[in-house]
Amino acid sequence: MGYCINLIETTASFKIENSEKILRAIQNLKGTETIEDSGGKHFSWVDNNFEKITDIVEMFGEWRWRIEKDGENYKIVSFTGEKAGDDDVLFKAIAPYMNDGFIQMRGEDDEGWKWIFENGELIEKTPSITW
């Protein structure tokens, strides 16, 4: 079960010099896991030992996002998962270190939303369609 999602467009990026801060912000999520089941406490689709990852590319990969260097920045280039997880938890944690930008997603039911990084905050917006 789960809700399938797809990345539509993204301009999300962060300065390479913020990599350590972002890595620590993600590692500090340990203890705030959203799921508790027979596998223990964990985030949706994320390994229980994610906090031990020390490479920024590998950490984003663990959370099912691919990043690439682009000049002085890392940019988010793709979503490697299939279903919605705790991506909003991840993005709230790293928002203070992100450049202004967005990640636009679409769900299996054609619902859409954007995670917007603006002035160190994460904003989630959904579109309004009028006829």
pLDDT at res. 14: 98
pTM surpassing 0.75? yes
At residue 129, the pLDDT reads 80
Q: What is the 3-state secondary structure (H, E, C) of 28-78?
A: CCCCCCCEEECCEEECCCCCCCHHHCCCHHHHHHHCCEEEEEECCEEEEEE
Share of the chain above pLDDT 90, in %: 92
At 126 the three-state DSSP class reads coil
- pLDDT, tens digit, for every residue of 62-107? 999 999 999 999 999 999 999 999 999 999 999 999 999 999 999 9
- For 119, the token pair is 């002035």
The mean predicted confidence, pLDDT, of the chain is 96
pLDDT in tens, 81-90: 999 999 999 9
Report the distance separating Cα 29 and Cα 63, nearest Å: 12
**pLDDT value, residue 40:** 87
Please report where in the chains the tokens 């919605």 appear, as a residue.
Answer: 84
